[in-house]
Every structure is written in C-alpha cells, then in structure tokens.
Amino acid sequence: MNEDAGERDTTAAWIAFLCLSLGIGLGFWSLGVFQSGMGGAKTWAVMVLAVMALGFGGYLIRSYLRPWKMTLDEEDERKILALVSAREGRISVVELALDTKMTLRRAQNALSCLEHSGHAYITLSAHGTSYYVFPDFSPAPEGLESRDAEDFMRRLAEAQAEVEDEVEVHV
C-alpha cells in the first residue's frame, strides 16, 4: 500500500465534493433559466456541463467508498502474513499497526483488503475487539473430521470463542 494513499483519498473526496457542488449549482441555475423562458443553446451547454460534473462526482464518491479495490504491495502483504502466521492466524488492527509501524488507518485498510479478497474474516471477541482471522494459519479444532468448509469455519469460530472466554483481562 502506498504511503500517500490517505492523501489521495482526501484529494478524491474534495474533488468529488467540488464536482457535486458545481453540478448541483449549475443544474439549478439552468432549470431557473429554462423556467423563465430564456433558455437557449448556452443554457443547454451549461446543463450538459452540470450533468457531467454530477456524473464525475458520483463516480468519485462511488470509487472512494469501495475499499475492496485497494491493493497491497508485495512487501506489506508478506509482512502481514508473517505476523499472522506468528499469531496463529489472528490479528487486530492495533496489533498490526504496532508491529509494522503502520498508521491505524493504513493497517485497517490493509486488513480490509485481505478480507475482501477472501483471505480473512472478522470476528469479535467477548471484550469487543475485532480480530481478522486467517483460516490458512489457524490451527484446526480438535476432533475435526468433516471436510465441509462451512463446518470447519463454524468449529473454528466456536474454538476461538472458547479460548476468548477463558482469557481474563487485567486492567
């Protein structure tokens, strides 16, 4: 993940906001001119410009809200997978940020990217902490004989819930 990804997200959000504002403003102005009976070719051109600005702004907003289009660079992906392997297939955003010196936002985006690509899923501990679980690195629960993937995932979640219930938090 690039270092300036957050800056690009902010820039895209501002450009989208400006396009939507411009499109809405020009659109209402054009409608007002049409209703007054003074519309002509220039007013139609402004209306087309407004529609184009609204469309581009909508496209940017849609792109901004789609985190699964993110990509990880190979180095970050390998760091994350090594940490997940060392932690037996489970990591939180804060743990990843501390161990890799990533920002929390970058760590969240990286784990979300891996989740959306199907390599992990999110579980919630009894204490409210979100963990990303990577089944490829998770130990299989004892007594697992079924080859059904759904059964494996259910048993894995139950085994993790049992372990989390046994852990006490000392503050």
**DSSP secondary structure string, 72-120?**
--HHHHHHHHHHHHHTTTEE-HHHHHHHHT--HHHHHHHHHHHHHTTS-
**Binning pLDDT at 50, 70 and 90, where does residue 6 land?**
low
Tokens of 18: 């400006």
Task: Write the pLDDT tens digit of every residue in 42-85.
Answer: 777 888 888 888 888 877 777 766 654 567 888 989 999 999 99
Q: Is the pLDDT reported for residue 146 higher than 50?
A: no
pLDDT, residue 14, reads 78
pLDDT, residue 90, reads 92
Closest CA to 114 of 141, 137, 148: 137
Can you list the pairs that 90-93 forms with residues at least 24 positions away whose Cβ atoms lie under 8 Å? 90/123, 90/131, 90/132, 90/133, 90/134, 90/138, 90/160, 91/131, 91/132, 91/134, 92/129, 92/130, 92/131, 92/132, 93/130, 93/132
Closest CA to 113 of 73, 74, 82, 69: 69
* CA-CA-CA-CA dihedral for 68, 158, 97, 107, to nearest 10: 0
Q: How far apart are CA 39 and CA 55, in angstroms?
A: 23
pLDDT, residue 1, reads 45
With tokens 């190979």, the residue in question is 74
- pLDDT averaged over every residue in the chain: 77
Whether the CB-CB separation of 50 and 27 falls below 8 Å is answered with yes
Q: What is the distance of C-alpha 100 from the center of its chain?
A: 19
**Binning pLDDT at 50, 70 and 90, where does residue 99 land?**
very high
**Pick the residue with more confidence: 57 or 143?**
57
pTM, rounded to two decimals: 0.48
pLDDT, residue 144, reads 47
| Structural element, H or E, at residue 121 | strand 121-124
**Pick the residue with more confidence: 87 or 62?**
87
pLDDT, residue 84, reads 93
